[in-house]
Structure 1
Amino acid sequence: MQQIINFIIKNSYRLLFLLLLVLSLSLTIKSHTYHRSEYINSANKITGSVYTQLNDVNEYFSLKEKNKELASENALLKELLFNKKDTLVTSKTLFRNDLNNFNVVVGKVVKNSFNTRENYITINAGKTLAIKTDMGVINDKGVVGIVEKTSKDFATIQSVLNIKSKINAKIKNSDHFGSLVWDGKNVGFAQLIDVPRLASLRKGDSIVTGGNSDIFPENIPIGKIDKIFIDRKTNYYTINVRLFNDMTALGYVYVIENKKKKQKQELEAITTAPKK
């Protein structure tokens, strides 16, 4: 308290000057319309600028939540795309009631390896959200991988960048297909193998998921043809595919459940079973 009193005594002239200055300005503004309007305009500019800055800061810190909301909306839109390709739906009530073949669940990548020969990805969605082994995983740019294992709240994904990965794929706008694998060398490329020599293809053609897949919907983007080779042993094409995805920078992903996969596989097993 004594320090405050000493400060006031020591700076009494300065404080008196400031007090009189504020008082005179206040009287001037109150008694003159011009000065009052200029003061209000200046105050509005300052407060407006402050509020704008505060709003920008609030929006920045809310980006995480907004991104999560957008990812959830995208998951619903992808369900609609995979199940209602030729139908225009105008009501949100149709999203769940009219879906027949695929469910889509959103998850966020919390761990991603890409510098080994057997790379895996971990996401923060698991059995609680009905995620199971052998479900397909994509993002907005294309195929990411296939679910390997699940726990209550997490799932691990066998990345496209895994030498054990094998995904049915085809040349877009063609019925010729092969298997997408990875040779363990370049994180930007995968290889489409076992493509028949009868296939018509050229550099720059798009590679998408094939119709023979029980895991992915047909025509999910994968990449573009970069180089074409002929395997002398099999006489089939081997295609170097430049991936659309940057597999070293993954955020939100979408896990796809094919609801009719089990039914199809059971029928095929019965059909190919040895006759008694």
Structure 2
Amino acid sequence: MFAISLAFTVESHSYHKSKWISSTNFLSGNVFGFGSSIDSYFNLRDVNTTLVKENQQLRLQLERFKSIPIDTSFTDTATYNSPYKFYNATVIANSFSKKDNYILINKGQKDSIKPDMGVITPNGLLGIIENTSSNYSRIISILNSNLEINVGLKKSDHFGTLSWNGESPYKAQLIDVGRLAPVKVGDTIITSGNSSIFPKGIPVGKISDFSLDQSKSYYKINVELFNDMTGIGPVYVIENLMKPELDSLKNSTILNE
């Protein structure tokens, strides 16, 4: 009877519900954190391999920038400042076999992590921060039927919505791409930059197959994810410093309409 009463109290009061979620995040975070410490020790070789590959990619990008001439006529250096900040974290719990999957990381409010921040890995898109406690955060994974993210074709300006049908953890679905888009198997899918969460150009995956819905004139596309969602280690949490301003402007536009 006490458990039933507690459940009704939590569900019917938003304050109690938020405190309950924070408490469960803290407790589960400590449990998973202990297990993650052990797993991390035995997975150091895989983590180092991932970091070496990322460093290699960053070095290649650096060399490309070195070859670009700098126009010294620009005087406004503020235009070169990125609106994005990146925080590193480590996954301590990850589900991928359910219809709605979540990921737990070892950083939280005291590390400046907030809900609605984007999360990526060295390989690509991972999810969005849903809830935080002092030391931990829960990510709603791209392998979650409730999550939709705006993405697009790397080689054109066509975009659509990334979702997941609850089947393979290695593939997601891209919908709402118009029939005039130049879609081909093997094309790269990236974040479109049409949201205030992710910058444009974060890798997502590549097209494995597609079909055209004749009745709606939209493609149904299967995307092979760059991330191996069954084995995630180091991650980066993205903060868009301009998000409050963008969200305020969007909300005022909606209200005016």
Amino acid at match of 2:123: K
**1:30 matched residue in structure 2:** none
Unaligned runs of 5+ in 1: 1-59, 89-97
Which of 146, 153, 158 is residue 140 of structure 2 equivalent to?
158
- The higher-RCO structure (CA 8 Å, 6+ apart) is 2
Structure label with greater radius of gyration: 1
CA distance in 1, matches of 2:205, 2:69: 27
Give the SS at the match of 2:93: strand
Amino acid at match of 1:250: I
1:101-116 equivalences under 5 Å are: 101-116=83-98
Matched, 1:263 2:245: yes
**2:179 matched residue in structure 1:** 197
CA distance in 2, matches of 1:191, 1:151: 31
The CA deviation string for residues 41-93 of structure 1, in whole angstroms up to 9 with x for no partner, is xxxxxxxxxxxxxxxxxxx99x59x96xx69x97xx8xx99xx9x899xxxxx
**1:174 matched residue in structure 2:** 156
CA distance in 2, matches of 1:160, 1:105: 19
Which of 93, 99, 106 is residue 117 of structure 1 equivalent to?
99
Quickly say closer, same or farther: Cα 1:87–1:131, change in 2 above 3 A.
farther
CA distance in 2, matches of 1:115, 1:231: 28
The CA deviation string for residues 77-111 of structure 1, in whole angstroms up to 9 with x for no partner, is 8xx99xx9x899xxxxxxxxx74401100110000
Query: Normalized against structure 1, the TM-score is what?
Result: 0.65
CA distance in 2, matches of 1:269, 1:123: 30
**Cα offset, 1:173, TM superposition:** 2.1
CA distance in 2, matches of 1:175, 1:248: 31
Amino acid at match of 1:208: I
CA distance in 1, matches of 2:216, 2:105: 38
The CA deviation string for residues 16-47 of structure 1, in whole angstroms up to 9 with x for no partner, is xxxxxxxxxxxxxxxxxxxxxxxxxxxxxxxx
Give the SS at the match of 1:266: helix
CA distance in 2, matches of 1:197, 1:225: 15
**Cα offset, 1:232, TM superposition:** 4.2
Give the SS at the match of 1:273: helix
Give the SS at the match of 1:207: strand
CA distance in 1, matches of 2:69, 2:163: 34
**Cα offset, 1:234, TM superposition:** 2.5
Give the SS at the match of 2:256: coil
Which of 107, 110, 121 is residue 139 of structure 1 equivalent to?
121
Amino acid at match of 1:128: K
**2:211 matched residue in structure 1:** 229
**1:274 matched residue in structure 2:** 256
Give the SS at the match of 2:244: helix
CA distance in 2, matches of 1:235, 1:140: 35
**Cα offset, 1:168, TM superposition:** 0.6
Give the SS at the match of 2:253: helix
Give the SS at the match of 1:170: strand
